[in-house]
Structure 1
């Protein structure tokens, strides 16, 4: 479908974009990355721009705000805010528009907040820049805004610094700053991508509520179709700089025509879609060129209940906190507390929970990347916590990790071929020629070609870099892979491809996965069993179908209630989620954790209960 102006009725639009084309200097010429884009946003309306990385979504928002570097970019067309042309304004006039008439929330709040100034002062600055207002009045308004975005104890936190806030709370601070001058238009650029599912739900509810109260228009930029369904009145689908489909969100979801729109929708895992399925199920993939869709085949592995490849009993990991002049212990972070589970060959056990619940620390404690405080861990016959340096090195051939950010885990100065070959050479498993042959073979296995070995990490996309990281983790023929948020930062269709790849490898190599994630819909799709963590403890564990179809612990239900559902009919619903932050895992010196009890709801489905509930059940 060709791009055209899409509007929402007779209301005078707050934002009107016509024929927007943005180009960047490339060599001696110009390369267009957004082409002939036109749309309107009316008061109290939310328009979503969706597409994957590189589609031109963020460039569109930065063009509207005129935040692109002048000497390397060129913006053509028309951008009008309440009838006023923005592209012809001077830089000084545009500065008065930004923050006052148009505000923007960026994906990563820590890149937008100054780490050396208290958050109260930063929000007050947004007010004093655009209004003739005293600091006393500005402070009163900031406290009102902080309360409005539901920051507990706003008065006490006015003088705190960004690092003293959690990710979700920092994003709320950014929203308070964006709303300080009561803008006519709010541009939200991937504001929830990196957030836990419950925090994401709170932020979406908050934007809806404030939009109704303040009457502002919202331009919402995301690649998450579940989020689009819950917030957007109308949707624009972008693909490689072009608008390929526009319409009401209901039309896009239920009657989308373009193969790329269908590809985005098919890649969105829907919570509850696995009902009746026993094995994990691959994602269907749409070929954008032909519109054909691959079959979602189940993963067939042989899981032995008698011989676990990983056995964890009473694992505890604590980090000592030191304070005072002499650095004496004043407390400890109880990151992992008395955790027990097993993992069999060919099985996927998912650990789910919010940031700070201990998921990643559990994975790193098992591999001894972090030293546990106590407990028992057996990996492929190795009593892991008793191993010396040489034995630990041997044990790690059996268990490997895939990290969330492949760019951070790949050396930018090494070619990907050298990075993939390195573990094989370091462990002395063969010659350099053997390593090269095996690396080329594994790169083909993960959907890349052997001739890419000479390239560097920056020459690959995020999804390709994650494939390189997966290939490297397979170089030592491990039996267990710990995938720590391995698909969290990926675009929706790339996420589907990487999940399918992991499931293909599991089926062919009978790998065991400890899959660490906060994405409940993905977890439901890829898991055999699921363990829910809260404050360092497993509060519920069981077979995937039992846990998702009959969740028992209140925290498990809270996680599931927060998952965005790709159904436009839910657009006006409010989750009314608690806005409390996850409780602190810091305990005083000498604290003894209470002994937890579990009751069995159905075979293998265990739920943590209090001592009183355990006695009652007995």
Structure 2
């Protein structure tokens, strides 16, 4: 039997906090064989990323302490000097991080960032390194590699930036590639491309991969063996097939049960709450089905007709308009009491701009937005303030949505005070009631945002949105940044509130499995236009537009038995930038079934 490429034995990592050493990773052990992919999976705070940083010796020696053994290439990486470790990093072990822009220098051209690795570790001349950099960009499927070598990172999309980071990691043909959440921030189609790329490159290069993620669908898609981490410990290790079919630890079972599975809603009409599983016992709590809250014969709360939002691109000394971003183009839909309409599509498709245009956070160019019979687009300042009582917004990042210097009770109270909805003596009682509604303790009102977890902060944002008792809420990627179990809790909370208060949601997301679970109706957006709209069942069970089918095919299936190397198109979403004199074509739609409309191609 061949010896493993990497062997981690009894790894312990501690951080110095307030003068005391705090254990973050405890007695973690695993091996990675030649050409093998091992996934380390767990939620935020489980210690999986710290394990990767420990292997790479990227933790500060001033406030981090490592014990145990990390054997690679016949030597313990914990015993060698920093100078020798620098020869290992980027040379024999490559690493890809979650956010490519933190790995790339924004003021250096892409070519320079690749060639400096080749010059340093492989001793190449600049001319040879440049030729090799072009070959590497070709290898990671970046089109027009030669011309793009002299561009800056900001000229690349998120998916293409991640490909550049992979090219840099592969520059020295490493034996081991560590990929730390490399697809978490990417759209589902781009995620599928990156996963396929890593698998193909692994076959071509014969390298081993340590893949760190919290997404069990990705684990099923890519890994041979899996290590499940919980609170700094490896609680279960085995082949990926064994883990998925015969999980033994309660936490593993809880992780698997919380994964939304595309197609699980087939044959059902109403949204369905996620099963909530106790992370300690693995036991599922009983969850009631949602009631039918939509009254289809009622007048819509929100009506959007022929909405157009464009952004001018100015250039030259005189700032002349050289082009326009057609972010939203002739979009129409309505929203009824107690209904969830989901807008889905990749980054840049216009779904968030649609939500911001409805809220008048972005000014639309034309079209109409009506809330409760009142014109939003042409409302004056006082009228708009009155209309906004009926519509609120929840954003993707709850930390950015909250003032870090303001206690959460003050943040929730602010809209109540601004709109004069309660006397000052009653405000604190209203805040306590709102915190209770979203499953938090009233005593938490005196805490600051940094004292909450990500899921708790999103609950605070929901409480603040509910403060004005709105008729509908625009939820813009409101759960995409959350761990899988927290995501399930927040979605269940949203469904509970919808049932209790007849709330309507415009749910903006690129997560197709979550959209299937929460929606009554679905609208698919591409290049600023709705290409397909209909009931959840009709869109998911009978998708008609090629782009809708592409989105669904890209969703990783949380079942290793159904794993396959899918030939995903490397095409990115096309640019919505048009010439100043561009006239958008008039689109036609076919009604393929009752209420199910598809754009004619």
Alignment partners' CA distance in 2, 1:340 and 1:185: 50
Aligned to 2:210: 219
- 1:26 deviation in Å? 2.3
Residue 40 (structure 2) aligned to one of 41, 49, 56: 49
- 1:296 deviation in Å? 4.2
Aligned to 2:316: 324
Alignment partners' CA distance in 1, 2:211 and 2:366: 47
The 3-state SS of whatever aligns with 2:62 is: helix
Aligned to 1:540: 532
Aligned to 1:596: 587
2:487 corresponds to 1:495: yes
Aligned to 1:75: 66
Residue 335 (structure 2) aligned to one of 330, 343, 354: 343
Does the CA-based 8 Å contact 2:251-2:281 persist in structure 1? Answer: no
The 3-state SS of whatever aligns with 2:271 is: coil
2:378 corresponds to 1:412: no
Q: Kindly report the root-mean-square deviation, in angstroms, between the aligned alpha carbons of the 2 structures.
A: 0.9
- Cα deviation, 1:141-200, whole Å, max 9, x if unaligned, reads 111110111111111100000111000000010000100011111110000001000000
Does the CA-based 8 Å contact 1:190-1:220 persist in structure 2? Answer: yes
- 1:435 deviation in Å? 1.9
Aligned to 1:483: 475
- 1:243 deviation in Å? 1.1
Aligned to 1:605: 596
Aligned to 1:614: none
Alignment partners' CA distance in 1, 2:173 and 2:568: 25
- Cα deviation, 1:499-521, whole Å, max 9, x if unaligned, reads 11111110111100000000000
Does the CA-based 8 Å contact 2:37-2:225 persist in structure 1? Answer: yes
Question: Which is further off, 78-87 or 400-409?
Answer: 78-87
Aligned to 1:271: 262
Does the CA-based 8 Å contact 1:259-1:286 persist in structure 2? Answer: no
Aligned to 2:545: 553
- 1:257 deviation in Å? 1.3
2:289 corresponds to 1:308: no
Aligned to 1:4: none
Does the CA-based 8 Å contact 1:301-1:506 persist in structure 2? Answer: no
Aligned to 1:355: 347
Aligned to 2:449: 457
The 3-state SS of whatever aligns with 1:440 is: helix
- 1:432 deviation in Å? 2.7
Aligned to 1:299: 290
Does the CA-based 8 Å contact 1:13-1:82 persist in structure 2? Answer: no
1:104-115 to structure 2, matched below 5 A, reads 104-115=95-106
Does the CA-based 8 Å contact 2:416-2:422 persist in structure 1? Answer: yes
Aligned to 2:363: 371
Alignment partners' CA distance in 2, 1:302 and 1:267: 25
Question: Which is further off, 311-320 or 80-89?
Answer: 80-89
Question: Which is further off, 19-28 or 90-99?
Answer: 19-28
Alignment partners' CA distance in 2, 1:465 and 1:344: 28
The 3-state SS of whatever aligns with 2:547 is: helix
- Cα deviation, 1:523-569, whole Å, max 9, x if unaligned, reads 00000000000000000000000110100000000000000000111
Does the CA-based 8 Å contact 1:420-1:468 persist in structure 2? Answer: yes
How many residue pairs align between the two structures?
A: 600
- 1:574 deviation in Å? 1.8
Aligned to 1:100: 91
Alignment partners' CA distance in 2, 1:295 and 1:200: 33
Alignment partners' CA distance in 1, 2:158 and 2:281: 41
- Cα deviation, 1:429-487, whole Å, max 9, x if unaligned, reads 12233221111111111111011111111111111111111111100000100000000
2:170 corresponds to 1:179: yes
Alignment partners' CA distance in 1, 2:271 and 2:30: 41
The 3-state SS of whatever aligns with 2:160 is: helix
- 1:497 deviation in Å? 0.6
2:241 corresponds to 1:250: yes
Alignment partners' CA distance in 1, 2:207 and 2:426: 62
1:437-476 to structure 2, matched below 5 A, reads 437-476=429-468
The 3-state SS of whatever aligns with 1:147 is: helix
* Structure 1: tracts of 5 or more residues without a match: 1-9, 611-618
2:386 corresponds to 1:388: no
Aligned to 1:286: 277
Aligned to 2:224: 233
The 3-state SS of whatever aligns with 2:256 is: helix
2:117 corresponds to 1:126: yes
2:326 corresponds to 1:334: yes
Question: Which is further off, 237-246 or 536-545?
Answer: 237-246
* Structure 2: tracts of 5 or more residues without a match: none
- 1:203 deviation in Å? 0.1
1:203-218 to structure 2, matched below 5 A, reads 203-218=194-209
The 3-state SS of whatever aligns with 2:389 is: coil
Alignment partners' CA distance in 2, 1:499 and 1:143: 45
Does the CA-based 8 Å contact 2:189-2:554 persist in structure 1? Answer: yes
The 3-state SS of whatever aligns with 2:326 is: strand
Q: TM-score, normalised by structure 1?
A: 0.96
Does the CA-based 8 Å contact 1:103-1:183 persist in structure 2? Answer: yes
2:559 corresponds to 1:567: yes
Does the CA-based 8 Å contact 1:479-1:512 persist in structure 2? Answer: yes
Aligned to 1:425: 417
The 3-state SS of whatever aligns with 2:470 is: coil
Aligned to 1:3: none
- Cα deviation, 1:253-311, whole Å, max 9, x if unaligned, reads 11001111111111100000101111000000111233320234322142122311000
Alignment partners' CA distance in 1, 2:576 and 2:358: 20
Alignment partners' CA distance in 2, 1:45 and 1:309: 54
Q: TM-score, normalised by structure 2?
A: 0.99
The 3-state SS of whatever aligns with 1:545 is: helix
The 3-state SS of whatever aligns with 1:130 is: helix
Alignment partners' CA distance in 2, 1:118 and 1:472: 43
Does the CA-based 8 Å contact 1:281-1:296 persist in structure 2? Answer: no
The 3-state SS of whatever aligns with 2:51 is: helix
Does the CA-based 8 Å contact 1:117-1:161 persist in structure 2? Answer: yes
Aligned to 1:86: 77
The 3-state SS of whatever aligns with 2:591 is: strand
Aligned to 1:401: 393
